[in-house]
């Protein structure tokens, strides 16, 4: 008898002892090459073709009423199977709190005369950014209905009461579902998914709550991996140094959160490896800083057993303060502390099925090879270059002017600069003069600070890297908004003691504009070919905007680009990132009138090379052949944005090109797209100016790490605009801007 047969018999024998009565509904299963399932003696054996000629195997059964991963195994080509784990139990821990409306949202609503009725509060609370449901009692003036109470926070371990499973083939994937999951106020099922062509095993709790106002986080993993002489946990630390732990220490009481680079840890076991990591973007709710909070864990449960998984921390960790002067240092310390009250968690509206995944990558290779394979899913956490495009990011409050002034030299390299370079970013629009410097000064103080700002941006721009000195003035248009000009431009927007000329020549600065009304700000944008857009629309300080100004001249102007796109809020029941707030607004704006677009923004503060920035950032790929030099201005950047010649992406899904072909009624939307994770769906979205509709293209039968040339015919009759998007199975995606049809 060969080794494979002996191993299988051992698995079956263990299953018989565990629960020989487990039944599985295989009516939704369809056998196919490279993806098979077989039920024998209470064991469901799933095998699939992975990457690089590896084959993977997972056996499922029940221990009592608890689902059991009886075996995980991998082999190369036709080599021997390597057992990676046996008798593994799923574990999920859910921490819940109460979602509250933030005072930051209340202020603009009150200024617009919108009463805080139960209906308004019930709607707007789901867009809260400044909320920290786990911080008891909370800080006054951050949220309504404070203080929080300790009994609002509940921690529950998932319990299982399964008697059977359901097996379903869906394209090139296979799903195994166990009913009977309960975790405190949540109930639902446990699901495992494998994908032909990928070494991935996705374990997720799919559950809902009927309680109102629930915000939550989760940890999820597998327990029961054996500790042997060759067992060790391997990861890269925040400085990219390789770290390892061989489980020779004492037993752990709690999971050990690893501040692992790239959100990745790898268990070397049995001659192969099991990597664990969360979804690369959708796992992360919006924050103001990207401090690495430790998103993977291990736990030594006994001298012979361990657990691994993915996690979210219980609280924020403040930014690292900086500053030479006491004034700046004290302000930085205060800001770092304020971050503790901004840790919003996920939304769980009553009745919505929340999907809480953790990924395992199975391989017969060692940890270094596995690390490279897993990192290929995110292009090594780099925004991959696409010919004819440049990667642009926007809206960062780095207080660059203050940094340079504090340092006493323009030649001071800030800590955030290497972060951008390492990510593959070509163009960054900064947003100084927000909570720093003298934003509303109308004279020499502000102008001198602007000069430092401009000089710093020019000094650290490069041949393929451009720093653009933007600003979020928040003065006269309503809500928060950002200004972008095609060159360094001096202007003020405060209320002067005496009336100033709209434009004047000032020695040492040249042309200087002074604005103190919406009309003057619009005139400034027109004269200097600038752009404005609503930052974080319909949330934060822009709650109620741009809806409140949709009939204003400045909003209707071609100088008003639209709004910003950011993963806020996060609702894990939704298929798309920022599904309702962002895409709802994008569609509404284009139904209102002329073309409007959404630009991906960060709206974050200080960054350091040891931060975990990639998962919390979406970017724009702008159609540009080269990066303009600072001294020449950046008119091509402004023009491309105004024309909608860019797409927004998390980085894992990329458009190589896109266009609308044909004229008249019969047209075709063409798009060449590539992706890394197993894909989910593409969609053509359109509207007649009132009703938004879409055509969904199922991509579940397409392989991972591939590409496709889409050609989607559509009837342009009665349609006002169309846009296109592609989303993968991990929640990553990319979308083009709406194209208006003539």
Q: Bridge-partner residues for 98, per DSSP?
A: 214
Percent of the chain beyond pLDDT 70? Answer: 97
> Average pLDDT of 332-353?
91
Average model confidence (pLDDT) across the chain? 95
pLDDT for res 173? 98
> Average pLDDT of 61-78?
96
> Average pLDDT of 417-437?
96
Please report the domains of the chain, with CATH numbers, ordered by start residue: 3-94+156-377 (2.70.98), 379-651 (3.20.20), 652-742 (2.60.40.10)
| pLDDT of 409 strictly over 70 | yes
SS3 per-residue string spanning 499-548: CCCCEEEECCCEEEEECCCHHHHHHHHHHCCCEEEECCCCCHHHCCCCHH
> Average pLDDT of 560-574?
98
| pLDDT of 575 strictly over 70 | yes
pLDDT for res 150? 97
Could you tell me which residues come within 8 angstroms of residue 60 by beta carbon, excluding any fewer than 6 positions away? 43, 44, 46, 67, 68, 69, 70, 165, 176, 192
CA nearest to 105, candidates 283, 352, 344, 393: 344
495 pLDDT band (50/70/90 cuts)? confident
Neighbours of 38 (CB within 10 A): 14
CA nearest to 726, candidates 664, 632, 645, 658: 658
User: Strands (DSSP E) along 42-158, which ranges?
Assistant: 43-49, 54-63, 66-76, 82-98, 154-157
> Average pLDDT of 463-467?
97
Number of H helices, E strands in the chain: 12, 42
| pLDDT of 269 strictly over 70 | yes
Per residue in 162-183, pLDDT (tens digit) is 999 999 999 999 999 999 999 9
Two tokens at 441? 């000064």
Sign of CA dihedral 622, 625, 629, 635: negative
| pLDDT of 11 strictly over 90 | no
| pLDDT of 5 strictly over 80 | no
Measured at the alpha carbon of residue 144, what is the angle toward residues 143 and 149, in degrees to the nearest 5?
Answer: 85
Residue 197 Ramachandran class (φ > 0 left, ψ -120 to 50 alpha, else beta): left
For the chain, what's the residue count?
742
pLDDT for res 15? 44
Distance separating alpha carbons of residues 646 and 533, to the nearest angstrom:
15
Instruction: Please give the DSSP secondary-structure letter assigned to residue 379.
Output: T
Per residue in 555-564, pLDDT (tens digit) is 999 999 999 9
Neighbours of 330 (CB within 10 A): 12
Helix/strand/coil for 378: helix
Per residue in 81-124, pLDDT (tens digit) is 999 999 999 999 999 999 999 999 999 999 999 999 999 999 99
| pLDDT of 8 strictly over 70 | no
Angle between helices 400-407 and 444-460 (to 10 degrees): 90
pLDDT for res 322? 83
| DSSP output for 246-270 | -S-SPPPSS-EEE--GGG-EEEEET
> Average pLDDT of 178-204?
98
Helix/strand/coil for 11: helix
For 400, phi then psi, to 5°, come to: -60, -45
Q: How far is CA 639 from CA 466, 505, 559, 645, in A?
A: 16, 27, 11, 9
Distance separating alpha carbons of residues 186 and 353, to the nearest angstrom:
10
378 pLDDT band (50/70/90 cuts)? very high
Could you tell me which residues come within 8 angstroms of residue 78 by beta carbon, excluding any fewer than 6 positions away? none
pLDDT for res 7? 47
> Average pLDDT of 576-604?
97
731 pLDDT band (50/70/90 cuts)? very high
Do the Cβ atoms of 373 and 647 come closer than 8 Å? Answer: no
CA torsion angle for 593, 599, 603, 609 (degrees, to 10)?
180
pLDDT for res 10? 47
**DSSP alpha helices (H): ranges in 439-539?**
444-460, 518-527
| pLDDT of 16 strictly over 60 | no
Stated pTM of the model? 0.95
| pLDDT of 723 strictly over 80 | yes
> Average pLDDT of 411-440?
95
Could you tell me which residues come within 8 angstroms of residue 125 by beta carbon, excluding any fewer than 6 positions away? 99, 100, 101, 213
pLDDT for res 306? 98
Two tokens at 145? 């209905």
Percent of the chain beyond pLDDT 90? Answer: 92
Alpha carbon 220 to its chain's center? 19
CA nearest to 327, candidates 315, 335, 319: 335
Do the Cβ atoms of 369 and 604 come closer than 8 Å? Answer: no
pLDDT for res 259? 98
1 pLDDT band (50/70/90 cuts)? very low
Instruction: Please give the DSSP secondary-structure letter assigned to residue 143.
Output: B
| pLDDT of 361 strictly over 70 | yes
**DSSP alpha helices (H): ranges in 461-530?**
518-527
């Amino acid at each position: 008898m060969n080794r494979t047969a002996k191993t299988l018999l051992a698995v079956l024998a263990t299953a018989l002892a565990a629960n020989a009565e487990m039944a599985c509904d295989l009516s939704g299963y369809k056998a196919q090459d490279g993806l098979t399932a077989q039920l024998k003696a209470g064991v469901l054996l799933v095998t699939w073709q992975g990457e690089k000629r590896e084959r993977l195997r997972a056996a499922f059964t029940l221990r009592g009423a608890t689902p059991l991963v009886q075996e995980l195994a991998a082999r190369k080509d036709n080599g021997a199977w390597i057992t990676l784990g046996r008798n593994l139990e799923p574990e999920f821990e859910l921490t819940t709190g109460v979602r509250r409306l933030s005072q930051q949202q209340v202020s603009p609503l009150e200024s617009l005369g919108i009463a805080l009725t139960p209906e308004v509060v019930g709607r707007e609370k789901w867009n809260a950014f400044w909320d920290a449901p786990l911080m008891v009692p909370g800080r006054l003036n951050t949220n309504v209905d404070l203080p929080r109470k300790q009994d609002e926070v509940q921690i529950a371990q998932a319990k299982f009461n399964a008697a059977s499973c359901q097996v379903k083939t869906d394209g090139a994937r296979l799903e195994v579902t166990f009913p009977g999951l309960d975790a405190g106020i949540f109930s639902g099922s446990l699901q495992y998914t494998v994908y032909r062509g990928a070494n991935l095993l996705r374990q997720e709790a799919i559950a809902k709550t009927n309680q109102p106002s629930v915000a939550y986080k989760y940890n999820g993993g597998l327990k029961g991996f054996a500790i042997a002489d060759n067992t060790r946990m391997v990861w890269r630390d925040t400085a990219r140094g390789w770290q390892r732990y061989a489980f020779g220490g004492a037993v752990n009481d709690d999971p050990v959160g690893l501040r692992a680079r790239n959100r990745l840890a790898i268990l070397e076991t049995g001659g192969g490896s099991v990597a664990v990591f969360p979804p690369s973007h959708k796992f992360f709710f919006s924050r103001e800083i990207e401090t690495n909070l430790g998103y993977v864990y291990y736990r030594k449960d006994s001298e012979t057993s361990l657990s691994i998984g993915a996690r979210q921390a219980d609280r924020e960790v403040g930014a690292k303060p900086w500053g030479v002067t006491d004034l700046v240092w004290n302000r930085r310390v205060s800001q770092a502390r304020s971050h503790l009250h901004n840790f919003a968690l996920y939304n769980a509206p009553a009745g919505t099925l929340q999907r809480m995944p953790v990924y395992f990558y199975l391989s017969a290779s060692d940890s270094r090879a596995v690390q490279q394979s897993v990192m290929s899913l995110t292009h090594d956490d780099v925004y991959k270059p696409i010919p004819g495009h440049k990667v642009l990011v926007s809206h960062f409050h780095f207080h660059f002017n203050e940094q340079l002034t504090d340092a006493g030299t323009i030649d001071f390299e800030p800590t955030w600069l290497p972060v951008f370079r390492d990510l593959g970013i070509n163009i960054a629009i900064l947003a100084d003069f927000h909570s720093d410097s003298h934003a509303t000064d109308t004279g020499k103080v502000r102008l001198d600070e602007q000069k430092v700002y401009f000089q710093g941006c020019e000094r650290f721009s490069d041949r393929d890297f451009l720093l653009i000195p933007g600003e979020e003035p928040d003065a006269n248009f309503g809500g928060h908004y950002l200004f972008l000009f095609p060159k360094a431009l001096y202007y003020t927007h405060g209320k002067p003691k005496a009336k100033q000329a709209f434009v004047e020549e000032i020695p040492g600065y040249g042309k200087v504009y002074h604005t103190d009304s919406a009309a003057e700000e619009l005139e400034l944008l027109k004269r200097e070919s600038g752009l404005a857009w609503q930052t974080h629309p319909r949330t934060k300080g822009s709650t109620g905007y741009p809806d409140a100004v949709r009939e204003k001249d400045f909003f209707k102007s071609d100088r008003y680009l639209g709004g910003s796109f950011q993963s806020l809020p996060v609702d894990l029941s939704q298929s798309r990132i920022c599904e309702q707030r962002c895409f709802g607004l994008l569609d509404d704006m284009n139904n209102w009138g002329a073309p409007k677009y959404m630009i991906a923004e960060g709206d974050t503060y200080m960054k350091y090379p040891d931060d975990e920035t990639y998962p919390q950032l979406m970017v724009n790929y702008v159609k540009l052949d080269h990066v303009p030099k600072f001294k020449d201005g950046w008119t091509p950047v402004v023009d491309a944005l105004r024309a909608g010649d860019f797409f927004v992406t998390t980085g894992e899904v990329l458009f190589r090109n896109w266009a609308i072909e044909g004229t008249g009624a019969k047209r075709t939307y063409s798009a060449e797209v590539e992706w890394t994770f197993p894909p989910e769906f593409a969609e053509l979205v359109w509207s007649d100016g009132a009703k938004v509709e879409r055509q969904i293209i199922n991509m579940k039968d397409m392989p991972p790490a591939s590409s496709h040339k889409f050609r989607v015919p559509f009837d342009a009759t009665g349609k006002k605009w169309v846009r296109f998007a592609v989303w993968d199975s991990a929640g990553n995606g990319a979308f083009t801007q709406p194209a208006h049809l003539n």
